[in-house]
């Protein structure tokens, strides 16, 4: 029987910057003015941005305990920032990045069960950013990887119904990305993972058949990910 794996998602978070420090003045050209902040809100927002920057530095240094110490207290404020201006894509990316960094550091510390709820909250925020800039490969790859991981986690909980939409979303985005970037190894692996996940979630053999040529491509190009190698070997035979 094929098994899906939950894989750690240690991706660069430098692809998105935090919002600018809160200050009085007009909004940037082309952007609707956000609601005015109280002094307390501005102070809290600036502290959250500073803590996010410090957490990025701690992550780069491999200090995952410091990442969590900085970001967990900042997350409520970052959520409030998004709630005040839900249409602001930069703020959505700020929250998505903060949640993803926190999840990754929890995983690095062996707290695997802490990852799924953070990824689940991050996914719709990453989707907002992706929809606004589909050419951003870093955002696209991060979103697809999170969706695959969420699907795999649901499978480990025997929640096949819950797993299916995650894999469906991941497959659609991976295919869309490969149409413009066919040589992208991450997307090819994501397409394969999504098809295997859909096979497991639905029991439909058509997904397994669709995965075989993708697995063959991965093997022939020498780009099979470590997470996908067991499944590739299972459906194609050991290399």
Domains of the chain by residue range: 39-132, 135-239
The reported pLDDT for the residue numbered 7 is 46
Mean pLDDT score across all residues of the chain: 87
The reported pLDDT for the residue numbered 14 is 38
CB atoms within 10 A of CB 208: 18
Cα 81 off chain centre by: 20
Smallest CA-to-CA distance from 147 within 168, 130, 176 is with 168
How many helices and strands in the chain, by DSSP H and E? 9, 0
CB atoms within 10 A of CB 103: 26
Secondary structure letter of residue 34 according to DSSP: P
CB 164 within 8 A of CB 4: no
The reported pLDDT for the residue numbered 37 is 83
CB 47 within 8 A of CB 24: no
What are the pLDDT digits (tens) for 96-128? Answer: 999 999 999 999 999 999 999 999 999 999 999
* pLDDT < 50: residue spans in the chain: 1, 4-17, 23-30
Q: Which fold has domain 135-239?
A: 1.25.40
Query: Buried (b) or exposed (e) across 67-80, using 16+ Cβ within 10 A?
Result: bbebbeebbebbbe
34: left (phi over 0), alpha (psi -120 to 50) or beta: beta
150 by Cβ neighbours in 10 Å (0-12 / 13-18 / 19+) ranks as buried
pTM: 0.85
The reported pLDDT for the residue numbered 1 is 46
Sign of CA dihedral 139, 193, 153, 63: negative
Q: Which fold has domain 39-132?
A: 1.25.40
What are the pLDDT digits (tens) for 193-223? Answer: 999 999 999 999 999 999 999 999 999 999 9
């Amino acid at each position: 029987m094929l098994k899906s794996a939950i894989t750690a998602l240690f991706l660069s978070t430098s692809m998105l910057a935090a919002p600018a420090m809160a200050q009085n003045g007009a909004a940037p050209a082309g952007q609707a003015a956000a609601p005015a902040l109280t002094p307390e809100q501005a102070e809290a927002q600036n502290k959250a941005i500073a803590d996010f920057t410090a957490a990025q530095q701690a992550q780069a240094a491999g200090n995952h305990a410091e990442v969590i110490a900085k970001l967990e207290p900042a997350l409520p404020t970052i959520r409030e920032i998004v709630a005040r201006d839900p249409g602001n894509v930069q703020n959505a990316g700020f929250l998505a990045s903060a949640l993803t960094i926190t999840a990754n550091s929890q995983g690095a510390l062996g707290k695997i069960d802490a990852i799924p709820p953070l990824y689940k909250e991050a996914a719709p925020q990453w989707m907002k950013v992706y929809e606004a800039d589909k050419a951003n490969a870093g955002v696209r790859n991060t979103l697809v990887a999170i969706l695959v991981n969420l699907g795999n986690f649901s499978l480990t909980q025997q929640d096949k119904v819950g797993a299916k939409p995650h894999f469906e979303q991941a497959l659609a985005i991976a295919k869309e990305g490969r149409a413009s970037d066919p040589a992208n190894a991450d997307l090819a692996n994501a397409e394969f993972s999504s098809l295997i996940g859909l096979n497991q979630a639905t029991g439909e053999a058509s997904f397994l058949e669709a995965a075989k040529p993708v697995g063959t491509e991965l093997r022939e190009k020498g780009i099979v990910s470590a997470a996908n190698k067991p499944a590739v070997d299972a459906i194609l035979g050991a290399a």
